[in-house]
Structure 1
Amino acid sequence: MVSSTFPYPPTRGGTQVRTFNLLKYLSQNHSITLVTQCESDVTNSEIEGLRDCVDNLVVFERPSDGQTSAVILKKIQRLGTFFFTGTPPSVLNRYSIEMQAWIDNFVKSGKCDVITCEHSVNEIYIRPYFQTQVKTIVNIHSSVYGTCLDQLATGTSENQFRDKINLPLLRHYERIYCSKFSHIVVTTVEDKQQLQQFRQSSQIAVIPNGVDLVTFPNRPTDPGGHRIIFIGAMDNLANIDAVYFFSNEVLPEIQNLYPDTTFDIVGSRPEPAILSLGQKPGINVTGRVPSMGEYLHKSTICVVPMRTGFGIKNKTLEAMAAGIPVVGSDRGLEGLAVDGINTPLRALRANQPTEYVAAISQLFEQPELRYQLSTHARQLVETQFTWEIAGQRYEEICL
């Protein structure tokens, strides 16, 4: 397994959650060699904790650009490489020559039967000829082309001019890298449809994310009150956009109706701009917390106001597993049957500020509705979205 992000502990959130839980399941019946990178915030105890989960752990330092002048030069070089070869800077800035050499030698030695890339940024380590020697799998968390296209369409792009130029390059890049893999894994049907546009012949399996039901137990009681929570890594563009949108366009209207309403922003690595939101009335920015489940249990409602980003959201599944009523956007509820004909009501849907205000007010006022959503959502997770279910399906692809 190749993962340029260090997947431990799983409370780090983001791509690490999926990577860790899939390797945890596979390690029960298979010998796993995990090749990964660590950054400055990874501790020795975390490295040893991850080492206990696999047969062989190989850790490389994440490449550094060095001094300021070197940073600028390398950014220019990566941009030039993107235009000439199609490989995005987000992939190149994690590329390690030493890690590449280790993987090349490991495959050449015939010591593995399957090589998986946990997230598409790791595709760069896969040589096209690897397919003739081992089964190659890419576990795509979301389409880079689809994400860029969506951000342009929804107006959530950081730089529209740049992304309009990048869009055809990303389309070409995704089509090319997918051809290196014998099997492709995605999290939603929408992602599968997106990628099939590039390669109709590709074997693409849909394996949704899951939840660890021990880490996220069902809450014993409904605390009531007017406490809203958002969970997720707070250096992620989609999460940052969601929190800004909710804090500025929805929360003030809620607080006009319910003055004691609080909004907890819970997640690791909050950027300075997110930390500054803590100065607004009722907003608490916690950063990384020991137990996300405990924070969820104290909350009345979890909001998932995503305006961009593809795939099933871990944050949505975790809130549902914890028994917290969810109000989410179409993006936040993507891939989940939460409403509609013959579907038990499992979450309330909202996309516009007025829709959020109406849904949240409804839940604040109706404890029986909160109970209904909590019960139905927990049942959905237990029967369809555990990591054991996802692991079993991933193992079938690997065999």
Structure 2
Amino acid sequence: MAEMSDLLLLVHRIPYPPNKGDKIRSWQLLKHLAARYRVHLATFVDEPADWQYVAQVRKLCASCHVAALNPRQARLRSLRALLANRAMSLDYYADGATRAWVRRTMDDHPVGRIVVFSTPMAQYAQGWPAARCIVDLCDVDSEKWRQYAQQQAGPARLLYAYEAERLLRYERQVAAACDAALFVSAPEAALFQKLAPESAGHTGWYGNGVDTDYFTPATVYANPYASGERVLVFCGSMDYWPNGDAVQWFAREVLPLVRARQPAVRFCIVGARPTAEVQALGRLPGVSVTGTVPDVRPYVARAALSVAPLRVARGIQNKVLEAMAMGKAVIASPQALEGIDAVNGSEILCAAGATDWAQRILAALADDGGRMAIGMAARTRVVASYGWDARLAPLDALLEGPRRQAAALSAAGETARWNRA
């Protein structure tokens, strides 16, 4: 058996446990790469509870550097980027010890491949033009900040607009310097090709998958809800602004319309770290906020419907795919369905606007057979289209096939411009 080659993997957040969107993708990426390469991983822990998982991650790695990241200190540190005219996200993840470890690893091992997961980690991949570099930007983060700006007013609007502009500039520089820039869906890749036409030729995507053995309707769970409740469930990290915006809008604008016709309907918000605004929703009639739960699956399995009313969204929503894999009928906004290959009306339901949402929910609740048929079709779609091995196959070709021929890859000038972004 041939000896494995060395690969450097840079991930902005420890890729375990796979309990949120980016960790699901990065965990599957790590497992896939570790089966094929000697992986040297540099990553951060931004939640104290995640330190318990470092040993699990180390098992897959030839070497591993895990740095502590204090979110409050990182936010303060990121403000210095304003003075330097660069994206704040870079300073948020800037760490001298991590940079030194990467340098030693590149010096001590014959690393011929670098995989970067998320834009800010690209700052650690510069300076080794001989190594093939694949950057998984996941989403067009700059577009997310632009959308944030549109939803805000005052200083926050100006700050978010600043970050959108500077981060797009950096994304373009990173994409121009790497062998391939990858995204989570075809729409995200197409958007970036428009924003960064100079890198369109080596911009691509690989979609998220689902562990369909873990998320399955075959498992029977105890009911976490009260008897007689008809529950609409939303699952997601509740300190993530788009999720908070979604549940606040739904609880205040949609749920009252539904409960006016069906008073037994409840809206359950399931997810870690709910903000004060999200916790306050628990005081509204028919709304409950769980906070962290050991397993989201019982809440999805025992709900009448899964809802994803996001108004700001980038990339593929794992929460939608996971509910579909569990055979649950899902109603989602157009934004939440971006990049998901499912047939509206038979495999998933789409709603836009409070009145449309309320009507579709009430119709689905009144049709038990139709709701079950949609859930079964959703499960079939996910099993057929979203297995992780198939999803990650394009990455194998990029890591082992011919390298992109472009002067920017080896030009010192390009590396310098990347460094100054």
Q: Same fold (TM over 0.5)?
A: yes
1:14 aligns with 2:4: no
Identity of aligned residues (%): 24
Residue 28 (structure 1) aligned to one of 23, 27, 35: 35
- Superposition pairs for residues 198-217 of structure 1, below 5 Å? 198=196, 199-217=198-216
Kept in 2, the 8 Å contact 1:275–1:285? The answer is yes
* 2:351 aligned partner: 350
- Aligned-partner residue type, residue 384 of structure 1: S
* 1:334 aligned partner: 338
Residue 258 (structure 1) aligned to one of 255, 262, 274: 262
Kept in 2, the 8 Å contact 1:228–1:262? The answer is yes
- Superposition pairs for residues 36-185 of structure 1, below 5 Å? 36-62=43-69, 74-81=77-84, 83=85, 86=86, 88-127=87-126, 129-130=127-128, 132-152=129-149, 155=151, 159-185=156-182
Matched residues, number:
384
* 1:375 aligned partner: 376
Kept in 2, the 8 Å contact 1:182–1:202? The answer is no
Cα offset for 1:294?
A: 1.9
Provide the rounded CA distance (Å) in 1 between the counterparts of 2:57 and 2:373. 38
Cα offset for 1:257?
A: 1.2
Offset from partner CA, 1:58-101 (integer Å, 9 cap, x none): 212226776xxx975x45422222x2xx3x21231121111011
CA change 1:369–1:40 in 2 (3 A) is closer
* 2:235 aligned partner: 231
- Superposition pairs for residues 248-327 of structure 1, below 5 Å? 248-327=252-331
Provide the rounded CA distance (Å) in 2 between the counterparts of 1:44 and 1:110. 26
- Aligned-partner residue type, residue 5 of structure 1: R
Kept in 1, the 8 Å contact 2:21–2:317? The answer is no
Provide the rounded CA distance (Å) in 2 between the counterparts of 1:357 and 1:232. 21
Offset from partner CA, 1:295-341 (integer Å, 9 cap, x none): 2101110111111121111111011001111000111111123336x
Deviates more, 1:30-39 or 1:166-175: 166-175
Which SS does the other structure have where 1:290 is aligned? coil
Cα offset for 1:157?
A: 7.6
Kept in 2, the 8 Å contact 1:188–1:335? The answer is yes
- Aligned-partner residue type, residue 177 of structure 1: V
Kept in 2, the 8 Å contact 1:219–1:297? The answer is no
Cα offset for 1:206?
A: 1.5
Alignment RMSD: 2.4
- Aligned-partner residue type, residue 217 of structure 1: T
- Aligned-partner residue type, residue 26 of structure 2: T
Unaligned runs of 5+ in 1: none
Cα offset for 1:346?
A: 0.9
- Aligned-partner residue type, residue 18 of structure 2: P
- Aligned-partner residue type, residue 111 of structure 1: P
- Aligned-partner residue type, residue 14 of structure 2: F
Kept in 2, the 8 Å contact 1:34–1:54? The answer is yes
Deviates more, 1:383-392 or 1:262-271: 383-392
Offset from partner CA, 1:112-164 (integer Å, 9 cap, x none): 2211111112112121x32x2211111112112222334455x3689333334
Cα offset for 1:347?
A: 0.9
Kept in 1, the 8 Å contact 2:78–2:89? The answer is no
Which SS does the other structure have where 1:36 is aligned? strand
Provide the rounded CA distance (Å) in 1 between the counterparts of 2:167 and 2:50. 35
Unaligned runs of 5+ in 2: 1-8, 401-421
Provide the rounded CA distance (Å) in 2 between the counterparts of 1:143 and 1:118. 13
1:398 aligns with 2:408: no
Kept in 2, the 8 Å contact 1:188–1:311? The answer is yes
Deviates more, 1:200-209 or 1:14-23: 200-209
CA change 1:394–1:218 in 2 (3 A) is farther
1:195 aligns with 2:192: yes
* 2:10 aligned partner: 2
Kept in 2, the 8 Å contact 1:301–1:324? The answer is yes
